[in-house]
Structure 1
Amino acid sequence: AYEVIRPSIVRVRGLEPDEDGEDREKSVGTGVVIVDKGIILTNLHVVLSAKRVQVVFADGLQSDATITGVRPEHDLAVLQAQTIPDDLFAATMRSTSNLKLGDQVFAVGFPFGIGPSVTAGVVSGLRREFRSPEGKRLLTNLIQFDAAVNPGSSGGPLVTAEGEVVGIVTAILNPTEQGFFVGIGFAVPIENAAAAVGVPPF
């Protein structure tokens, strides 16, 4: 799964200038290339308050990116990279209609900025709801999974054993005040994510 999806994974950095005018990293997350012209899906909360967005491709190429679309109801943002690698690969998407509880899935991303990292788990639930800790957003129709994800994993793909994307990792549930993984992660189904870009997913 990892070798298939690896070329389509990007690190997403939200930057803002410090007191000296130097850009510093305000947020870090993950994105996945879904169109080989440099169109990337990530989570809206990763880039929402950034003054500048930068993406780093699998081959190390860095590029500024612009936010070309948002879907707050799904916590999704669409990015367009200004510079792209010559051999950029878009991820393959797969319908969630046949997804079942117990199906093996993998999460790929940059937890705490480390990575790309891959973790394995299973689908724990379907059509779940999640309200953000601040209570501002209610996300619906989510895939629940137990592959370990943490801050920085947001926006990364949830993939099948074949490396096909079924969801975009968006949230973790932790009943304490601490924002780390305790076994419950949520992903937006790829159908919702593809609709944010206006491309047919399959």
Structure 2
Amino acid sequence: MTLRGDSTAAPPETEPVAAATPDPVVATAEPASDSLSTDELADRYASGVFKVEVEGCNMSGSGSAWVLDEHHLVTNWHVVSIDPTPELVSRDGRTTMTGTVIGGRTEPDIAVIEVDEPIRGAALDWADTDDLREGEEIVSLGYPAPAGDFSVTPSTILSFQMDGSTREAIRGDGALDHGNSGGPALTADGEVAGVATVMVREANQLQMVPLLFTTDALRSTVQDFIDDPQTVEESCDEEVAELPDEWGDDFEDWSASGPDAYGDDATLDALWDSCAAGDLEACDSLWWDSPIGSGYEAFAATCGGTSEASHGSCVSDAEWAAQEAAWEAERVQDEADRAADEAAEQAAEEQAQAEEEAAVAALLSVCEAGDMQACDDLYWQSASGSEAEATAADCGGHFADYWGSCVDREAEAGEIATLVGSCGAGDMQACDDLYWQSPSGSEAEAIAEDCGGRYPGEGGSCVWSEEEEE
């Protein structure tokens, strides 16, 4: 089984972390020691092993990488194949960088990540493969599943996988897991004996063993990538380590054999049953635990037949779907609230308009009945150019010959009537006042013109005419 990079189909829930600006401490090779204990190796070289976080092809995942020099890290290609710009996180979490994959391939399964800023961490050097011995203790550093925390895994070199006289890979007995991929296995003097890459099963054996590809298998390819960096695109095809064809008789590759269909493995069957019953965590566990390409994996990838392709992320996919459903419900509710507000606003406007029309109709009726205040109110409240406005301007037809507001016209008409009466009774001053105050061409003006019938044609000079007569 390839040590998966914990790839899942979870959409991003947070924005990518901005690259931290490292302190001016760059990767430097630690001085070698004759022999370091496991805890001493971890203390000295942990800063040179980074967690690799990737996101692409509707998946996310993680693996491990180690510092080769101040601008380059080494990892597996299958760890970064979906994301050519992975995030790199230090053991203490205080240093985060965005790297760029400048080369990668499946045979050997190796990739190089380049960063612009100098790396803060201990640089590691390759071990001389010829100096390694069966039975030698090595220590693997990385970030295995499920927690993805920094882990230290001691192991022993059981044997070497050969290609002619070349030691291509180390067979070890370490309990490595998903997420260890790309991490280094160190000798007692802190050099990289091998890179954790793939889990295989020895032919005719039940035990799974990790293969760690050696300096002789990887170093020249890594150097080629550094010397001739390339622009690398994401690959959404599931990438797995390819073993040389000549190794076929030595291993039963977990990715090509092993439990396949329901009934082949009791543990996987139990996860299958729980997954089929709707336990999404069991579906995810089944996907991670199943042989690559097996029927178990295919069933788990669909979350028990409820999804098209989740690839070990049934729980996170369900959470994301629930979040999207909540967002959609919120959007629908917002639209409904907005429509209700608009309807209420329109109803209020229509109600206000109806009340205004009723008020105008009432004023019109009262105005026509002779209420001059109503006529004035009607003039200001009626629509411009409307029939109601014309009626108000004419004071309901009562004082068409007068100017000003209807209330003023009514008062003026009263004064004119008083003057008409006084003028007709012989008050020549009233006749003169009537002449100047009455509307031009009105009956009142005609009465004033003749001084109430006493001095025809002497309008405006009635008092003078009366004095002359005397």
TM-score band w.r.t. shorter chain = 0.7 to 0.9
Which of 193, 197, 221 is matched with 1:170 structurally? 197
CA positional deviation for 1:116: 1.1
Count of matched residue pairs: 175
Instruction: State the match for 1:151 in structure 2.
Output: 178
Whether 1:26 and 2:51 are equivalent positions in the alignment is: no
Deviations 1:131-174 (A, max 9, x none): xxxxxxxxx92111111110000000011122211111101125
Which of 25, 47, 57 is matched with 2:80 structurally? 47
Question: C-alpha separation between the residues in 2 aligned to 1:162 and 1:81?
Answer: 27
The percent identity for this pair of structures is 25
Whether 1:142 and 2:182 are equivalent positions in the alignment is: no
Whether 1:57 and 2:97 are equivalent positions in the alignment is: no
Instruction: State the match for 2:369 in structure 1.
Output: none
Gaps of 5+ in 2: 1-40, 225-470
Gaps of 5+ in 1: 19-24, 130-139, 176-181
Instruction: State the match for 2:56 in structure 1.
Output: 16
Question: C-alpha separation between the residues in 2 aligned to 1:54 and 1:77?
Answer: 15
Q: TM-score scaled by structure 1?
A: 0.77
Whether 1:195 and 2:195 are equivalent positions in the alignment is: no
Query: Whose RCO is larger (CA < 8 A, sep 6+)?
Result: 1
CA positional deviation for 1:103: 0.5
Larger radius of gyration: 2
Q: Is the 8 A contact 1:125 1:145 kept in 2?
A: yes
User: What is the correspondence of 1:38-187 to structure 2 with a 5 Å cutoff?
Assistant: 38-50=71-83, 52-60=85-93, 61-85=95-119, 87-112=120-145, 113-127=147-161, 141-173=168-200, 183-187=208-212
Question: C-alpha separation between the residues in 1 aligned to 2:43 and 2:189?
Answer: 10
Give 3-state SS (helix, strand or coil) of 2:86's partner: strand
**2:56 is aligned with what amino acid?**
E
Which of the two has greater strand per residue? 1
CA positional deviation for 1:184: 0.7
Q: TM-score scaled by structure 2?
A: 0.35
Deviations 1:60-88 (A, max 9, x none): 31111111112321100000123444x43
**2:46 is aligned with what amino acid?**
R
Whether 1:6 and 2:39 are equivalent positions in the alignment is: no
Q: Is the 8 A contact 2:168 2:216 kept in 1?
A: no
Cα distance change of structure 1 residues 59 and 83 upon mapping to structure 2, 3 Å threshold: farther
**1:4 is aligned with what amino acid?**
R
Q: Is the 8 A contact 1:69 1:78 kept in 2?
A: yes
Write out the 4+ residue segments of structure 1 that deviate beyond 6 Å after TM superposition. Answer: none
Deviations 1:26-66 (A, max 9, x none): 12100000012x20000000011226411112453111111
Q: Is the 8 A contact 1:13 1:53 kept in 2?
A: yes
CA positional deviation for 1:196: 2.1
Question: C-alpha separation between the residues in 2 aligned to 1:169 and 1:17?
Answer: 24
Question: C-alpha separation between the residues in 2 aligned to 1:2 and 1:168?
Answer: 16
Give 3-state SS (helix, strand or coil) of 1:111's partner: coil
**1:90 is aligned with what amino acid?**
A
**1:8 is aligned with what amino acid?**
G
